[in-house]
Structure formats: structure tokens, C-alpha cells
Amino acid sequence: MIPKMEYYAKHPEKYSEKFRYEYDKHAIRLMNHRGRIYTEACGVENLPGEGGYVMFANHQGKYDALGIMLTHEKPCSIVMDDARSHMPLVKQFIDLVGGKRMKLNDLRQAAGIIKEVAREVKGGRKFIIFPSGGYKHRNGNYVDPFKPGSFKSAMRARAPIVPVALVDSWKVFDLWSLRKVKTKVIYLKPLYYEDYKEMSSTEVCNLVYERICNAVRAAQKNISVI
């Protein structure tokens, strides 16, 4: 499938965004079937019906973006650390959805990516951003601190900010087991521009972080937060 993914990514004039996104999802479904991975989505009804928006999720491992994409009907893309984005298969996944590669040690390049994302979100695209900037292996459901600067692209676009809580996503690639693995993607109620227009990026960051932490804790206790 990798050669096909590369070909489709190189010819967006022939293959629509929807087609390329669905091919990514097809690959995820095949992987999940073979790996006995099951992903449950909650709160899909909270996703804005129209226009662009940015989903901000806690980061647990390599499966995080795949779990969101699998449960997200409309095409969405991702902002990813450039250093992690060139591995086989990861590269093809990113290219198919027109992902953005951010060099975390290059402030000028990172600022350019933020502007690109803001512009494309204004145009109606959807993005996934992991505001912690990284993850630690076998860190479980602990939610790493978020970086306020991660929220600037959505705030510049005056776009909805959708908190997404991931639960047990880390188990997919960190557990050496043949047992079934079940993960959960929880889409929380979005923050619209009217909700955060008077807030700083730090205040938005803290609010989103708190909501995601609460959702993860509740999910571990089988308590609904939707």
C-alpha cells in the first residue's frame, strides 16, 4: 500500500482530499483488524457542523492521530514534529492528508507553520494539534502539560477550538501483547471565538488542559463527560 499512498499524495489534482483521507482510514482499519485494536468515539455530535476548526488532544503515542482520524468523518490534517514525520508509513500518512511538519528547534519555520495553519483553517480545513509537543513512552493516561503557543493558529483564525481527550491510546504500540486493545476518543464541547476572544493563549491553554484532564479521569472511572 505504501507505493499507492505515495502516488496518491503526489497527485492531488487527480485524487481529491476526501479520496486521500479515506485511503488513510482504509489503511488504519486494516491495521486495527490485524492488531485487534478497537477505537470508540464519544461526543462526535460536539464537532462543529461547518467551517474549519482545530482539534487539540493529549498525546500518548503513535496511534493518537490515527484514532482521531478513524473516528472523524470529514477530512482533517495534522501538525507534526518534523523529526518524527519521515519514518516509513508515517511519512505516507502525513503526505496523504497534507500534514504540516514543524521544526520545533526552528522558531522562524514554526511561526510560518502557525500562519499556514491559520490561513487554511480560515479556508475551511480541519487540523489535529498535540499541544504538549511530544509524549513519553508508557506514560499511561497521564496528560503532559500543554504549550500555550500551540493555540495561536486557531486563535488567529478565530476558529473553533475542539478539545479531544484520548484514553488508553498509548497501549496500541507500547504493550507487547496479543490481547485486544480498546482506545477511546472523546470529543468535548468546542470553544468558539466568542468564548475565548478576551482570553490570552495561556488562559485558553489552561482551560483546554483542565477539560481534557477531567475527561480522561472521568473516562477511567466510566463516568460520562459529554
29-87 residue pLDDT tens: 999 999 999 999 999 999 999 999 999 999 999 999 999 999 999 999 999 999 888 88
> Where do the structural domains in the chain lie, given as residue ranges?
2-220
pLDDT at 63: 94
- Contacts of residue 179, defined as CB under 8 A and 6 or more positions apart, other chains included, come to 36
> Is 80 exceeded by the pLDDT of residue 134?
no
Residue 3, judged by CB atoms within 10 A of its CB (0-12, 13-18, 19+), counts as: exposed
109-125 pLDDT, tens digit each: 999 999 999 999 999 99
pLDDT at 138: 67
pTM of the model: 0.94
Residues, the chain, total?
226
Taking CA 218 as the corner, what is the angle to CA 47 and CA 172, rounded to the nearest 5 degrees? 75
> Is 80 exceeded by the pLDDT of residue 226?
no
162-218 pLDDT, tens digit each: 999 999 999 998 877 778 999 999 999 999 999 999 999 999 999 999 999 999 999
The CATH topology of domain 2-220 is Glycerol-3-phosphate (1)-acyltransferase (3.40.1130)
Name the residue with higher pLDDT: 103 or 225: 103
Residue ranges in the chain assigned as alpha helix (H) = 2-10, 17-35, 64-71, 90-96, 107-122, 152-157, 171-174, 193-196, 201-220
